[in-house]
Amino acid sequence: MEIYLPAHPPFSFYAVVNSHGWVQLAPFQQDETEQRLTYIDRLSSGRVVVYIIHALDSGVQLHSESDLNTAEQAEAAHKVIWMLGLQQDFSEFYAMASSELELSHVIERAQGRVLRCPTLFEDVIKTILTTNTLWAATIRMTSNLVQLYGEPLPSEPSRHAFPTPERLATLDEATLRAEARLGYRAPYVLALAQASASGKMDLEALKDPDLPTPELRKRLLAIKGVGGYAAANLLNILGRYDYLPVDSWAMKMVSQEWHQGELIGPAEVDAAFERWGKWKGLAYWFWKWKQ
């Protein structure tokens, strides 16, 4: 199967794939030498397939070694379009960034798109696994979940899809702590899986563009294990840039940039980017910080 998927210009495959650390988390796998990204996915039909995504100047070429039927091809294409943000339009943000020296590079590099997982369930789980830990531990915990509970790719059984809510919901907290080594995050992952598997929580509905951002943020914060910082990151992933993921690093950078190193709080961070309005999350994300 070969499908060409065009992107809203300008587009840079490298920029979106390397927009943040998600590319390092299973079941993603990157081949920089060939400008290729692969992802193992479990389709709604139950089949586990690999997406092989090649960079093109105006979009991407989606290849799958499996013989997919029409419905499966449509699902695969829909997911890849979402994962790479191919239909996103950043012209308004670029117009604002063109007058800011510290953001001039975003236009040159066609930055703005953020790599996403095909489901918000996976994005939320991975975000929870980033909290209060080192990045190496996030990679390890994600790999444990995928290898232990994800369904294997038939042509390459050593690679697995991300586990479904239904599969994780059959586990218990003790198992997630002992086997996947999730620590205090185990009950959060289990609760989210159970709520998603039972239908009590429909995370995909949160992708609705008509849902007001404050309401979307409220619903994200209602998820156990998702605080203000995690919610802001998830909003950025969802294409909502109204809130900033403020942490100690953000306060340090803003202090150095605008407050001569003085001690500041979250309010000063937010004020520094207030003029960017609905784009302030992107302005913060891609700002050329002076290290």
In a domain, 109, yes or no: no
Residue 137 and residue 74 share a domain: no
Residue 146 and residue 74 share a domain: no
Q: Which domain holds residue 260?
A: 248-286
Q: Specify the number of domains making up the chain.
A: 3
Instruction: State the pTM of this model.
Output: 0.95
CATH number of the domain at 185, please.
1.10.340.30
CATH number of the domain at 38, please.
3.30.310.20
pLDDT at 196 over 80: yes
Q: What is the pLDDT at residue 232?
A: 96
* pLDDT, tens only, 133-191: 999 999 999 999 999 999 999 999 999 999 999 999 999 999 999 999 999 999 999 99
Q: Which of 71, 89, 107 is the last residue of a domain?
A: 89
* pLDDT, tens only, 46-59: 999 999 999 998 99
Alpha helices in 41-200 (DSSP H): 70-84, 91-97, 104-108, 120-128, 135-149, 165-169, 173-178, 186-198
Q: What is the pLDDT at residue 291?
A: 65
- Note the residue count of the chain: 291
CB 195 within 8 A of CB 167: no
First to last CA, the chain: 46
